[in-house]
Amino acid sequence: MSGPDTLARLEATIATRRTADPSSSYVAKLHAKGLGKISQKLGEEAVETVIAALSEDREALVGEAADLLFHLMVLLSARDVSLAEVMDELDRREGTSGIAEKAARTS
């Protein structure tokens, strides 16, 4: 089953794997390498997502978007930021013009 529950399950899985053996868990391996490596991987996935979007390859875009979301969730976990906090922020912004919201952040 996909949807919001998928991200909640992913968040829980990432939380349990943070302290696993890095030789058997990709999440643990990233955490062992530190925030810099996790951030680098997120950046790489973001670039790959953009490239897939520009190539107009729908299947590649879906795959890269999944990789991007996964690595974002790993980064959030590393900084002890919950998915609920991000969702709350999105809820707070709902109904607000993106232009107005951005202007409020810079003033």
- pLDDT (tens digit per residue) in 51-79: 999 998 999 999 999 999 999 999 999 99
Domain assignment present for 107: no
Query: Does 106 score more than 90 pLDDT?
Result: no
Domain assignment present for 19: yes
For 40, the domain range is 4-81
Domain count, the chain: 1
Is residue 7 within 8 Å of 69, Cβ to Cβ? yes
- pLDDT in the model for residue 107: 59
Query: Does 2 score more than 80 pLDDT?
Result: no
95 sits in the region (left: phi over 0; alpha: psi -120 to 50; else beta) called left
Q: Residue 89, SS3?
A: helix
Q: Give the domain CATH number at 15.
A: 1.10.287.1080
The Cα 67–Cα 56 span in angstroms is 17
DSSP 65-80: HHHHHHHHHHHHHHTT
Query: Does 45 score more than 90 pLDDT?
Result: yes
Q: Please give the residue that has the higher pLDDT: either 4 or 60.
A: 60
Domain assignment present for 96: no
- pLDDT in the model for residue 4: 67
Domain assignment present for 16: yes
Domain assignment present for 91: no
